[in-house]
Structure 1
Amino acid sequence: MAQLRTVGARATGIANIASDGTVLDTWYPSPALLNDADSLVDGTERVSARELSDRFLSIVGMDRDRLVELVPVRTTIADLSQPPRDAHDVYLRLHLLSHRLVRPLELNLHDCLTHLVPVVWTNKGPCLPDNFEFIRANLRSRGQIHVYGIERLPRMVDYVVPSGVSIAEAERVRLGAYLAPGTSVLREGYVSWNAGALGPARIEGRLSSAVTIGEGTDLGLSATLIAGRDTGRNRAPMRVGRECRLHPSAGVIGVDLGDRCEIGINVMLEPDTAVFDSRSGNVVPAHEIAGQSDISVANEPHSACPVLRPR
């Protein structure tokens, strides 16, 4: 099991803050890890104009059409193993993941969504939902308004574009996804926050938050990997090893897989799913085979439940 990182982090960014004080998002273009965690103090502070580059100065200020102020901020996290404190803190942690400075499940994101609010994500910037129709009229002077979604987390590519990856549909990868170089997310693929591929992988199915897959793993069309529910909005960590293959419409919920595993078409495994283990001749619940390597689980014509065979 991966250990939580006890290092700290710091970054300077631009926050979109609504007129009522709500933090809509924070963009950190160059986050950094810091090892001297004992000397750090948690928190976010405004950055004076004297400390900003010309590029940052050109961004900050009031956007009167969106009723939003773009504010330069500096956020410090003393210890990534501790839970996040506020929205700025959450956004910095998500940037660390998508910049590949830390891996999923190696930093504390417990209850992180409680610090975020639903946001209208548009091509003109984030907006509050409650007054959006008024804002839409203001923004029409800037051209056509495209609304990408109304949710707590934005698309990754609007904040981070990692090198060496392929993403066919930007909407389907959240900020906080971790994509190792060589990874391809096909058009029907989806990767949530605090999830992703630790090595080159092919993703045509769905990865929920708190799920990682190893190098060489192939997630087929409509295949699904879902971490089990924990407390609140949190999910229990789930890991799939190297060189695994999930065939189309296969699914695994809350069951770890080792290396070189294969899950057949339409097989759905949950912890209590009955599986016939051909090695012992017994029917066992799927949680008893969790983490095993070099196995194949598939539906067979004369079996009432999926059959496990050595691969």
Structure 2
Amino acid sequence: MTDLYALGLGVGTQNSKGEWLEVFFPQPLLNPSADTAKAVAEVLGYAGGNQAIAIDSAKLDALASALEAAGNPEQAATVKTFQNSQRPLVAALLAEDAAPSSVPEGYLKLHLISHRLVKPHGTVLDGLFGTLPNVAWTNQGAVDLAELPERQLQARLNGELLDVDCVDKFPKMTNYVVPAGVRIAHTARVRLGAYIGEGTTVMHEGFVNFNAGTEGPGMIEGRISAGVFVGKGSDLGGGCSTMGTLSGGGNIIISVGDECLLGANAGIGIPLGDRCTVEAGLYITAGTKVAVLDDKGELVESVKARDLAGKSDLLFRRNSVNGAVECKTNKSAIALNEELHANN
């Protein structure tokens, strides 16, 4: 019996040296059934561990039949469509959730997030930046940067234009998956590996990085950086910056609870609980000194913002007279004071 953490059968792009640039997995699987894993392993000669195995076109019929026999007609149908491929095919088999060591492994994990099979920071992405190549994303697909000048010249000689949309390690998500029930006004601003929950709207200036996202429903008009996960019914105002980790795979995640509001050009460096508000233009880091007020506006205590991490029903604002950062709560001074000291 073969147990796998994840499995992906995909088609991708290689450079002239046979090195992978990107991989598209139409139906990635998280914890596939033992029968499905065994069917793929036996046909492809999988010997264990985390591997990316090239799929020989001569094995496609056998692979499709094995998947049918394993009770997985969906994957079998996908394999049958691969028979018409003029691009290289690959199977990524992950025995464990470990740092990706190849481009196919990395792309499979990004697909798992964007297909909503795992949430941000729900899979190990350590070292992903070093694993993925920097690529020119064009109207003809991914192009190796070293081969770009020749491809541009050849396109001109053919009377065509090779349009370079961007140069990046991560492609836009919608070229690989469009999750159900979402609106994305500017698709280039959502990277593959973003988790976009049903009911989420990403407006024109909104941005969602890989290993970040929204549970939905919600409105995103600002930036959701890697490591940030926004709860249901939240509104991230235009230009706001919710800064979590700057790259995937760390141990820090900035979560934003349900029904939160971050005003325009606001930002946070701490997780928020439910129903929290950060006024426009206010950026809160973990070390920001905050004057905590009770429901009557009386000072309870001065703390660092990290001491308020994850708490609900808080309003963060800046005092227009003295410039102090204040946090108002609907709790009484005594109750909040006791809670703060209990957590310190």
| AA aligned opposite 1:256 | P
Structure 1 runs, 4 residues or longer, greater than 3 Å off: 35-41, 52-55, 232-235
Q: Which runs of 5+ in 2 are unaligned?
A: 39-47, 62-78, 331-344
- Would you say how many aligned residue pairs link Structure 1 and Structure 2? 294
- Asked if the contact 2:195–2:212 (Cα under 8 Å) also holds between the matched residues in 1, the reply is yes
Alpha-carbon distance between aligned partners in 1 of 2:257 and 2:12, rounded to the nearest angstrom: 37
Structure 1 residues 139-168: Cα deviation after superposition (integer angstroms, max 9, x where no partner): 342733221111100000111111110000
Question: Structure 1: which amino acid aligns with 2:89?
Answer: P
**Aligned counterpart for 2:122 among listed residues 90, 102, 106:** 106
- Give the match for residue 309 of structure 1: 328
2:64 maps to 1:49: no
CA displacement at 1:117 relative to structure 2: 1.2
**For residues 235 and 207 of structure 1, do their structure 2 counterparts lie closer, same or farther at Cα, with a shift above 3 Å needed?**
farther
Q: TM-score, normalised by structure 2?
A: 0.80
Deviation at 1:283? 2.3
What is the CA RMSD across the aligned residues, in angstroms? 2.2
Percent identity reads 32
Deviations 1:216-264 (A, max 9, x none): 010000011111468x9857211111110001110112x1111110000
Map Cα deviations across residues 262-289 of structure 1 (whole Å, 9 max, x no partner).
0001110001111111134332211111
Counterpart code for 1:227:
G
Picking from 282, 299, 311, the partner of 1:292 is 311
| Cα distance in 2 for residues equivalent to 1:201 and 1:215 | 6
Residue 34 of structure 1 aligns with an amino acid whose one-letter code is N
2:70 aligned residue: none
- 1:130, distance to aligned residue in structure 2 (A): 2.0
- TM-score, normalized by length of structure 1? 0.88
CA distance in 1, matches of 2:171, 2:130: 15
Q: Tell whether the 8 Å contact from 1:209 to 1:235 is kept in structure 2 after alignment.
A: no
Which residue in 2 is equivalent to 1:246?
A: 262
**Structure 2 vs 1, CA of residues 165 and 142 (structure 1 numbering), >3 Å: closer, same or farther?**
farther
- 2:277 equivalent in structure 1: 262
The answer to whether 1:14 aligns with 2:11 is yes
The alignment status of 1:215 with 2:215, answered yes or no, reads no
Alpha-carbon shift at residue 7 of structure 1 (Å): 6.4
1:281 to 300, 303, 309: 300
Equivalent runs, 1:73-92 vs 2, <5 Å: 73-80=90-97, 82-92=98-108
Task: For 1:264, give the aligned amino acid.
Answer: E
Contact 1:276–1:282 under 8 Å retained in 2: yes
Q: Are 2:216 and 1:199 equivalent residues in the alignment?
A: yes
Corresponding position: 1:185 with 2:211: no
Higher share in helix? 2
One-letter code of the match for 2:108?
L
Contact 2:290 2:325 in 1 (8 A): yes
Quick one: distance in 2 between partners of 1:184 and 1:265? 20
Q: Decide whether aligned partners of structure 1 residues 95 and 284 sit closer, same or farther in structure 2, where only a CA change above 3 A counts.
A: same
Query: In the aligned structure 2, how far is the partner of 1:153 from the partner of 1:221?
Result: 23
Query: Secondary structure of the residue that 1:131 maps to in structure 2?
Result: helix
* Worse-matched range after superposition: 214-223 or 110-119: 110-119
Pair 1:54–1:36, CA change in 2 (3 A):
closer
Q: Out of 28, 31, 35, which is 1:31 matched to? A: 28
Q: By how many angstroms is 1:105 displaced?
A: 1.3
Residues 35 and 132 of structure 1: CA distance in aligned 2, closer, same or farther (over 3 Å):
closer
SS in 2 for 1:126: strand
Aligned residue for 1:131?
A: 147
Query: How far apart are the structure 2 equivalents of 1:163 and 1:91?
Result: 20
CA apart distance, 1:298: 1.0
Amino acid at match of 2:106: V
Q: 1:271 aligns with which of 273, 286, 295?
A: 286
Answer whether contact 1:120 1:151 (CA < 8 A) is retained: yes
The separation in 1 between residues aligned to 2:17 and 2:57, in whole angstroms, is 23
